[in-house]
Structure 1
Amino acid sequence: MRVKYQQGVGLLEVLVALLLLAIAVLGFVALQLRAVEATSEGFNRIQAINIARDLSEKIRINNSAITQYQTQLASQTNQAASGSNCYSGFCTPTAKAAFDVHEAYVQATNAGMTLNMITCPGTANGRQCIYIAWNKTDPVDTTATTTGHIACTNSTSSGFSYNDTSTCIVMEAY
């Protein structure tokens, strides 16, 4: 008589074990997804740092045309203007600045990023900062942007800080 009451218990144990296995697999999948997101974010940061560093070094070399760099980086229309090809011939400092900005623009656009150069927030020395942003972040230092995206940073009287959900880097240029 006791065996009759035990019928189906083994099947129930198997079902409970499968449920626990399914929960463990879901946890593993969530962990893998987070790892892929972190890898992607790290890759984007490395690309942005390389673009900003390259542009910063070009500005440092051609510092007599700093105002031209500021003008060229002020809008995407200016950034997209290709100008002369400084690889095949001599360029003036002004033409070299336009060429450098266009090269950085092409690299950033190919990586799905946007760039800008503004006066570094929270500094009194007029230093310029290169902003490179991706995803739904604009390369600006304000709380409201024209695209509906979030701004990279916020300036306050006590300094500047990155927005919590922004995806960008800021590099001091010159």
Structure 2
Amino acid sequence: MNRLNHQHGVGLIEVLVALLLLSIAVLGFSALQVRAISATDESLVRTKSLTIVRNLAEIMRAYPEAYVTGSGTAFTSAAASTLNAVPTIQAVISGSAIETVTVSGKTISILATGVNCLSTEVETVDGKKMPKQPCSMDQLAARDALMVKKIAADEDIKLGITTCPGTSANAIQQQMCIITAWNDTSPIMSDSDATACTTSNGVYKTGSHCLMSEAY
């Protein structure tokens, strides 16, 4: 009888120990689930970023002679040799506008209203009828850049175009770097800015959420 009295509560202790071990296992499993979800989200954003980079690179190749001067939402057409002229696509991506910009006095828009640079008329050239081009090359480049920028903004992805490390000339025909960034990372290369994607030499910063790709 005394032996039974000494064993009172042993079963309860065993249950508590089992619950403790189960709790530790569940916590570990939960942590793995959180990490897995985070990795999946990061992979999804990177896939979207790659698509945006490819689209933007193709647009850059399509308009190798589109240059403008100015900043913000208003730009003026300029030749590549003009002082302070920059590639139109780089200027639009770096500017504040997402849906509308003004190039050479014409407001270019990706909205249903405004000039969207789509041909709706025909003209006769050398006796042949062809679509009338309502926009210049700079204006077309601005429109296409706005479309990619809007897609990126809808996905909470920030865009940036800059000269790649080791490249001095700011010409779209030469090597340029496209940077996509998300979360708290900025699409820039900087040694002093803690939120920058990479250093000025193009080395990824620890903890940055971004992707840098070269375009030619």
Distance 2:118 2:5 in 1: 88
1:75 is matched with which residue: 92, 95, 99?
95
Superposition pairs of residues 39-54 of structure 1, within 5 angstroms = 39-54=40-55
Whether 1:142 aligns to 2:173 is no
Q: Which has the higher contact order (CA 8 A, sep 6+)?
A: 1
Q: Cα deviation per residue 1:106-164 (whole Å; 9 max; x = unaligned)?
A: 1111011111110012346751111111110111001344xxx60011024xxx21111
Distance 1:114 1:161 in 2: 19
- Number of positions where the alignment pairs a residue of Structure 1 with one of Structure 2: 167
Distance 1:173 1:11 in 2: 67
Structure with the bigger percentage of strand = 2
Q: Cα deviation per residue 1:44-92 (whole Å; 9 max; x = unaligned)?
A: 1111111111110111122222621222223223x54251313455343
Secondary structure at the counterpart of residue 76 of structure 1: coil
Distance 1:161 1:8 in 2: 62
Whether 1:15 aligns to 2:13 is no
2:204 is matched with which residue: 162, 166, 169?
162
Alignment partner, residue 116 of structure 2: 85
Distance 2:116 2:177 in 1: 26
| Amino acid paired to 2:142 | A
Alignment partner, residue 112 of structure 1: 156
Secondary structure at the counterpart of residue 64 of structure 1: coil
Alignment partner, residue 35 of structure 1: 36
Where does structure 1 lack aligned partners over 5 or more consecutive residues?
none
Q: Does structure 2 conserve the Cα–Cα contact (< 8 Å) formed by 1:155 and 1:161?
A: yes
Distance 1:35 1:87 in 2: 44
Distance 1:135 1:112 in 2: 8
Whether 1:101 aligns to 2:145 is yes
| Amino acid paired to 1:127 | Q
The structure number with the bigger radius of gyration is 2
Distance 1:34 1:62 in 2: 42
Q: Does structure 2 conserve the Cα–Cα contact (< 8 Å) formed by 1:75 and 1:116?
A: no
Q: Does structure 1 conserve the Cα–Cα contact (< 8 Å) formed by 2:59 and 2:145?
A: no
Q: Does structure 2 conserve the Cα–Cα contact (< 8 Å) formed by 1:122 and 1:155?
A: no
Where does structure 2 lack aligned partners over 5 or more consecutive residues?
68-86, 102-107, 109-114, 121-132
In the superposition, the TM-score normalised over structure 1's length comes to 0.87
2:175 is matched with which residue: 117, 127, 147?
127
Distance 2:119 2:35 in 1: 46
Query: How large is the RMSD of aligned CA atoms in angstroms?
Result: 1.9
| Amino acid paired to 1:168 | C
